[in-house]
Structure 1
Amino acid sequence: MRWPGSYNMRIHRIQVENFGKLHGFRMEMKEGCNVICAANGWGKSTLAAFIKAMFYGLDYTSKRSLADNERKKYLPWQGGAFGGSLEFSTEKKAYRVERFFGAKDKEDTFALYDLTTGLLSEDYSENLGEELFCVDRRAFERSSFFIQQNFSAAINDSLSARLTHVEEDAGDMKNYEKAVASLEEKMKYYKKTGNRGQIGKLKERRSAVRQELADCQSREEEMIRQKECLAEKRQERDRLSGQIRKLQAELSQAQSYGEWAAKRAQYDLLKGRAMEEEANVRRILDSLQSYEHVPPGEEELDRCREEIYCLHTLDGQEKAAAKELKKEKRRLSKLREELEEIPAPGRFWGILALVLVLSGVCAMSLSRILPGAGLAAAGAAAAFVQFYHMD
């Protein structure tokens, strides 16, 4: 179809999900004139109403009459999704429009897809019929859609304007009906129930922009606070850096002082040892000055070593003799006790034998072997005489 000043438009495919008695209906449109010839009750008027609904939607009204309430009239008999889709093309692009309807117009959904990309298109709005054909719903109903029971050949101002080529300047229309209808359509476009109109969208957009502005202001204030905090932190960092440098300098000085103190203590220790050594050297020098002669030579030292060795030897022998003397004293005490038990005639000879034997032992311990042996023999003889008297 083509209207003066409009694009060439062609319907390619109709797909009805549920609309009136039609359910799961598919139809491919051929080029040229497509004629549907079917018996009464097939759904020809329903299909024409579906095509009109795809372009213009369904008006919402509270009227109960089916003739005046298309939304109620074409509500699917069998239930399911109320609506469908229609594919069409203009001189520029091919599209698919999808509309689904609810009990009220605020529940309606509209989507327009670009068949080339398969993506949503914003080339046309929900007022698809008016934007494509440049006529409103009433003009479309009186020119391209005819109701079977209420056929009327009357034209309205929109159709008259299209036929007389005055649609370029709609502001020049003086007709009251056209002006009111135009205002009503615009009011429907700008203000719909449920804030779905352009005014509601703009209000929502304004609220969103205000909220975004408030968020931006809040972020800006937070940024200012963060900058101030950052400046304070930088000042604090500079102050702490200065303190760190000062402490490092003091630490370096303390380390230097500690090293100096350690060296000082080591110096004092070495100095004390040196003074002790110096005192020892002085004592040695004083001792050496008391000698009239020079220090002895090696021969003199060897002789002194031999004498020292002999002295040590004699000292050891003396200690051994002292031990032996203690033993003999203990034996003497024992012999005295035994002597006291001996009768008087042999006591003299017993004492004499004891004295001689002890004298001989002492002599032999002092390296006087021959005299000691003689004394011991005499003591043995005296002991023999003692035993003789005892018998």
Structure 2
Amino acid sequence: MRLLSCHIENFGKLQNRTFTFEEGLNNILEENGWGKSTLTAFIRVMFYGFEGERKQGLSNERKRYAPWQGGSFGGSVRFEKDGKAYKVSRVFGNKEEGDEVSLIDEATGLETSDYDVANLGEELFGIDSDSFMRTAFISQNDCVYNETTENIDRKLGRLVEQTDDNAGYDSIVTRLKKAISAANSRVQKDSLHNLKRRATELEEEIKHKAVIDGSINEVRRLSGTTKEEMADLEEKREGLLARRSICIAADEKRIRRARLLELKEAVLMRQNNLLKAEAKFSGRIPERSEVDETMQDARNLAVTRGTLEAYSLTYEEEDELQRLYDTYGEYSHFEFERLLFVRDPKPYSKMGVFGIYLAVFGVIALTAGVGFFVNKTQLFGALAGVLGLLCIVAGLIIVAVKKRREKIYLEDTARIRADYETFKVLETKKKKFDEADAKAARLNVNIESFFESIGMKCPEDVSDALVHIKELLGALAVCKEELSYAKGELNTYLEKYPDDEENTLEPGCETVAELDDKIKAVELDISETHKRLLDYSRRLETLKGQRDELEEKEDELSEIKDRVEKLSERVRLYNLTKDYLTKAKNSYTERYLGPIRNGFKKYYSRLTETEGEEYNLDANTHLFVEASGLNRDTGSLSFGYQNLVGLCMRLALFEAMYGHDGPFIVMDDPFVHMDEEKIKKGRELLKLIAGDVQVIYLTCHESRAM
């Protein structure tokens, strides 16, 4: 597989850029800040999509590479696979749900299903995005070797057995160890240790079952005796309640008689209250609606008086209105409109035009006179000049007189208009005042008529008097209602008890209070007996529950013993399986570790001209460096050597995974931390690799360019 070209519509700082890629080595030399890392990220994203969708800040690639200048977010990549050319295009939205992606077969120009666009990178390269970044994608800030991923292991053939879920050896052994550890754990509830401990506890608890059976029989006996006592007490209470009912019947007759007297006294008292309330009115008792209407008239009168004050004319306003009447007549309104209508807005316009024409004629005559005078017709020229001067002077005088007369005329018109506006305001106030005065007179007549009808003289403060009358009417209505209610209660009682007479207690009859004391004492005994019964019931339920729990524990003990037996056998099988897998794995790992070791040493020797014998790989493809007889992590090396070793290891993995038929390799300035000699060796190494695989190499300095 190889890349053919890519077009970036908008991605990070790159906009509307197209790049064409050749077979072998493709060198891109651009200065720092140009966007080399953005270009490499674009190539990866076209195949795998964005990483870190749920993260914040720069870790979220969608936000990190959003276009700086706005516009459509995305682009396309053309590539060749198995002799066919394809183009993958992506347009990114604000979220993954808004993305648009398509894969076009360039031979037909139609979308193709040769590869699943949702997992395009994994289908083309056989590895996920993380594994791609650890092998075929090498940047200056990420050369350090970080061990393999499960996808890389699968690609290398590092599987202990081919299972449906593609579980690798490490995953299986880890699960076996966890299962064995869990089975022997002191923390896990269902471990062998805890199951055996629980079985011992259950055996001790089950020994108390016989003691609980004896306690159950004793509680049942005591409960039976207490139930007999409860029956005797309830029979005694029933007898006392029957005697109490007889006493209550006699007491009820006395209480009803007292109630009858109380109701009669209430009727008499309510009748007296009604007479007192009626006596407070000196004449006719008005209806509430009459009072409400009169109160409304009083409120309207107050509002009308306010209107009178608002529209009352001052002495100056009365004098001004009279002057206008005297000046313009009785029908002043119509006289104003007539005067304003008949007045000419430009009364002296003809006079002004005549003056202008006369002055113009004078100018012409004066000009002609000067001409004649110059041509030696002096007398005629002098007469024409004098005539011209006289016409000019006369024309100017006529224009001046026109302007003076017009000014006087306009001032007179303005005065008439001002008088008209004043007249309208004053006449409106006078009309509203007269209307309010008439209304106030009508309201006064209504109010005085009301007070005369109820035998009262109209007071000065009408509102207070009306409020007082309304309060008296309210009190009178309450008295009537109370009397009606009292009579109703008395009639109801007499209908219910028509022949009620006073009765006395029979001689020797106990009082209700004495019987209540005896009943209370019996009920106290019943309550105590009931508490004992409840206590026996609870104790019996508790004992039965304990017995049921012991029976359940017997079942639990039997189940635990069975589980212990099965779990012990399972642990034995786990240990045997782990031992067999370990032996198989140790012999199997040599099949893929050899090519990786050889590849690492090949690339390391080309960069350093040493064999790299001090570096070793374990079965987990972890790289160590031997120093002072000990295997040490490569993280103990200098940063430059960490990058060099990481580059060799990535190239070795790539070669072991794909051989000479792998995809392209993207290198973003991987030699930036190396010295000049190693950079020179690195360039030679790139040329060698580019003979088999397409390489996209980006750098920002001439010294590292190809």
TM-score by length of 1: 0.41
> Which structure has the bigger radius of gyration?
1
Ranked by relative contact order (alpha carbons within 8 Å, sequence separation 6 or more), the top structure is 2
